[in-house]
Amino acid sequence: MEFLNYFGEVFSFINLITLIFGTIGGILLGAAPGLSPTMAVALLIPFTFHMPAEQGLIMLGAVYTSTIAGGAISAILLKIPGAPANIATVMDGYPMAQNNQSKEALHYCFISSLVGGVIGIIVLIFFTPILAKFALKFGPSEMFWIAILGVTVIATFDSGSVTKGIFSGAFGMWIATIGTDPIIGVERFVIDPIFAGGVNIIAALVGLFAIPQVFSLIENKLNESDIFQMEKRKLIDSIKYNISRVKALTVGSVIGTIIGLIPGVGGQIAGLVAYDQIKKFTPTKAGRFGKGEPDGIIAAESANNAIVGPSLVPLLILSVPGSPTAAVLLGGLLIHGIFPGPDLFTNHPKVVWTFIDSLLVGQFFMCIFGLYISGLAKYVLKTPVHYMAGIIVVLSIFGTYSVQNSFADVIVMLSLGTFMFLISKLGFSAAPIVLGIMLGPIAEANFITAKLIADTQDGILLYLLNGPINQVMIGLCILSIAYGLYGEIAKRKIR
Amino acid sequence: MKLYFALIKKLLIITFAFLMTGMGIANAKYPESPISLMVSYPPGGATDFQARIVSMMSGEEKYLGQPIVVINKAGAGGKVGWNWFATKAKTNGYDLAAYNIPHFVSQSIVMKDVEYNAKNLEPIANWGADPAVLIVNKDSPFNSVKDLVNFAKKNPGKVTFSGAGKFVGHHLAFLEFEKSSGAKMTYVPHKGAVAGLAAVKGGQIMAGFNNLSDAYRTKNTIKILAVADLERDKDFLPEVPTFKEQGYNVSNASVNFRGFMVRKGTPKEVIDFLAERVPLMFSDKKVANQMKAGGSPLKIMTRAEVQDMWAKREVSLKELLKGLTAN
């Protein structure tokens, strides 16, 4: 219960101000397409040089938490996920907005983020020593199967044609192979030097989601379905309904917590897996997902915020970050001479516990300010379409360029976006492509590593099939495919 | 009225004259605006965060008098950023870049489409040196390099090594070590030093070459068996012997040096100015404290010393990488 002693530190004047500004800034940054949590934290690290350790970490933690939640605002209102973690939020968030339920959707997003986030941090506070060992068990074979589990849901992720889903996923995986392979160092499909660094995931995300949206804003300027108002919705009603969705909250938080613990997977996949699972866990509502089902938002948003706490478990004890953002946070810790390790909590109790406590308090601030900002979001909807289209283009180019100061990324982003708009006319959707881009490299890199290791042992087949975690993951993959097939067959029978 | 015009005219002339002299002074004085420092690795990595620490005092009048802004151009193990730098960077002293030796020399030897080499870039000064160390899991049966080599000789190819990718310091240290040990071992490239370290801690990989600084920070969860340098590290790991002490011919070719450079064609006065001031900036007390707190060894070398080191590296790496290409 040592953590209780340090709440006083969090509420000291300067730390509190830092926390509040970090949270508000994070929500706004998160809402801008292209500015991902990882980027936001990385850009802020130099500012922490001149701060005391606690204050610097409080700021980084607040931004980490709130950018993930902030990314849902643009996902719901504009159909543009602010960061890869918010892709699953688009699925039901944007249809809800189209049904004039945008405020309700934003309420669920921030309330669920709070619930998921608090659960994740409680896990961090109480179970760090036990779970750190578990995190290390995930080697290349386990990571390979996690990526495959993600691949199995690509086809059925976006309700629509399974065939198109598979094609889109495969296209995404191909996009991800462009550039210099990170393990072997071989160049693939580098037809022009601009592809030497590969297709950046943020550039792809922004291009595939934002640019088609701009085109359709222009195209459907007079179309009623994309012009919607923000309804009047009492917060208390949203809270009551949200709390009653125990299943969605549990599925989201548990999946987010587990995935957060696994080094190198991150929130992107947590939201996606949680969304897919809640769809499978509630067969009665199966037809309503993708058309504005609150459970979809609740599961996805509680999952992507639940990863914050657990992703720090392997970081703090083993110096092995659980997510890309946690990896950047490691740099922030080192700058202040704080070396993660088993004795971290005894060597620097004040810094570490103040940081963790601030994360907990920050979750509440994130929810409160998020709800307030969602009230202001009506102005976004009131913005005339022609201004909106312009603003999105400017933000997309700015966000993409800022990732690695590369104009090549901007060209790639715009080309992919135009291409996406054209194929969206044929009924393809962006989500499976982005998932392919995200999952392909995880599966490939881990397979290559696994192969190199397995060749010194008993061969790749045994390496991938042995071990309890591998077998559980394989079981889940089979279940996921079987369920997808079953659903498809059942649909055909009804027809 | 006429008087007014005359006055205004005079004022304009004076202003203009002032502006001209101002510009004249500015032309003579470098730098007059912020300087950018290109880092070819993503934010948060070791190179990035050290580059930010060592450049944080540059605004002081006694150093550069202008702030340094770090710009990241990551991708392809540094190739994207350095290619940009060697072909597109300004040669007026306002575009600096961070170099990583041996990476950029070894890449220029083995990789295709590489625009940079030790000849079209000019070193300014070196700030850090991070030797590779041989690590094993805390529960590993190997307690010395000898244990490991004996096992590897009985089980050719069975010992797996992690490291941060191909043709980086860790890989070079592995190649040297494998050659001098006479045993066959397997190198498994990882995506960055942190991932390589995690694989050793998780027991998926038997041993690894990693950065001294990263290994030092987590030394109570691993065993550090040897340092791939000519001398022991006195500040951080005085108890760990070098490979040479243990009878293996592993040189300092894999030591990861980091420093500033500019593109060839930058005026001599600018290079001289930077070469004089930058090492002073690196040795600022605040910089030294922050680097030490972060567990990052500081090694300040002047332009002449770095030029010498670059030339030597190029020769030794060509020898070591003979017959190896990144297909």
Decide if B221 and A318 are in contact by the 8 Å CB cutoff. Answer: yes
Among B235, B234, B252, smallest CA distance to B243 is for B252
Residues forming a β-bridge with B242:
B227
CA distance to partner chain B, nearest, from residue A187 (Å): 9
**Tokens matching residue B308:** 């010498």
B197 with A46: Cβ contact below 8 A: no
A312 within 8 A of A355, measured Cβ to Cβ? no
In B, minimum Cα distance to A195 occurs at B80
Enumerate the domain spans of chain B. Answer: 36-130+255-320, 132-246
Residue B68: its H or E element = strand B68-72
Under the banding of pLDDT at 50, 70 and 90, the label for residue B293 is confident
Please, what's the b/e burial string for B109-145 (b: 16 or more CB within 10 A of its CB; e: otherwise)?
Answer: bbbeebebbbeebbbbbbbbbbbbbbbbbeebebeeb
- What values do phi and psi take at B174, rounded to 5? -60, -45
Q: What is the nearest CA distance from A49 to chain B, expressed in angstroms? A: 8
Express each pLDDT in A166-211 by its tens digit.
889 899 999 999 987 777 777 888 888 778 778 888 899 999 999 9
Residue B220: its chain A contacts at CB < 8 A?
A: 341-343
Pick the CATH number of B36-130+255-320 from 3.40.190.150, 3.30.499.10, 1.20.1050.10, 3.20.20.140: 3.40.190.150
Selection from A349, A253, A350 nearest residue A305 by Cα:
A253
Residue B226, sorted as left (phi over 0), alpha (psi -120 to 50) or beta, turns out to be: beta
Q: What would the two tokens of residue A432 be? A: 């499976």
Q: Which residue has the tokens 């283009």?
A: A393
- Residue B3 CB partners (closer than 8 Å, separation 6+): none
Partners of residue B72 on adjacent β-strands: B39
- What CA–CA distance (Å, rounded) separates A260 from A255? 8
How many residues in total does chain A contain? Answer: 495
Q: Which residues of B touch A180 (CB under 8 A)?
A: 75-77, 79
Decide if pLDDT at B62 tops 80.
Answer: yes
Query: With respect to CATH, is domain B132-246 assigned 3.40.190.10?
Result: yes
DSSP H helices, chain B, are 2-28, 46-54, 79-88, 103-110, 145-154, 169-181, 193-201, 212-217, 268-282, 285-293, 303-320
**Pairing between β-strand B256-263 and β-strand B186-189 as defined by DSSP bridges:** unpaired
Tens of pLDDT, residue by residue over B83-105, are 889 988 888 889 999 999 888 88
Q: Do A185 and B166 touch (CB under 8 A)?
A: yes
Contact between A240 and A293 under an 8 Å Cβ cutoff? The reply is no
Domain ranges of chain A: 2-494
Subunit contact A449:B112, Cβ cutoff 8 A = no
Mutation choice for A interface testing from B36, B47, B49, B174 by most A CBs within 10 A: B49
Minimum CA–CA partner of A449 in chain B: B188
pLDDT tens, residue order, chain A (495 aa): 778 888 888 899 999 999 999 999 999 888 887 777 887 887 787 788 778 888 999 999 999 989 988 889 989 988 888 888 888 999 899 999 888 888 999 999 999 999 999 999 999 999 888 888 788 888 889 889 988 888 888 877 775 677 888 889 899 999 999 987 777 777 888 888 778 778 888 899 999 999 998 898 888 765 555 567 777 888 888 889 888 899 999 999 999 998 888 876 666 788 888 998 888 888 777 778 888 899 999 999 999 999 999 989 888 888 887 777 887 888 788 777 788 887 888 888 889 999 999 999 999 999 999 999 888 877 887 888 888 888 889 989 988 888 777 888 899 999 999 999 999 999 888 888 988 998 888 888 899 999 999 998 888 888 999 889 899 989 988 888 887 777 777 777 766
How many Cβ pairs within 8 Å bridge chains A and B? 163
Tell me if A340 and B218 make a contact (CB, 8 A cut-off): yes
Taking CB atoms and an 8 Å limit, are B217 and A138 in contact across chains? no
Pairing of strands B35-39, B186-189: unpaired
Q: Which of A180, A404, A452 sits opposite B79 (nearest CB)?
A: A180
The reply to whether omega before A193 is within 30° of 0 (cis) is no
- Residues B267 and B184: beta-carbon distance below 8 Å: no
Side-chain-side CA neighbours of B160 within 13 Å: the count stands at 22
- Give the number of other Cβ atoms within 10 Å of residue B16's Cβ: 10
To the nearest whole angstrom, how far is the Cα of B70 from the nearest Cα of chain A? Answer: 10
Say yes or no to pLDDT of B192 above 90. no
Rg (CA), chain B: 24
Whether A343 sits inside 8 A of B220 (CB atoms) is: yes
Mutation site, A323, A456, A466, interface B, largest B CB count within 10 A: A456
CB contacts, 8 Å: A327 with chain B: 44, 194
* Residue of B197, B217, B284 to mutate for A, most A C-beta atoms under 10 A: B217
The four Cα atoms A26, A27, A28, A34 give a dihedral, to 10 degrees, of 80
Q: Is the Cβ pair A136, B49 closer than 8 Å?
A: no
Complex ipTM tops 0.85: no
Q: Are A316 and A266 in contact (CB under 8 A)?
A: no
Instruction: Judge contact between A350 and A53, C-beta under 8 A.
Output: no
Q: Which member of B194, B197, B326 has the closest CB to residue A186?
A: B326
Q: Which one of B158, B201, B293 has the shortest CB-CB distance to A136?
A: B201
CA distance A376 to A102: 12
Q: Which helix (H) or strand (E) holds B45?
A: none
Which DSSP symbol is given to A322? S
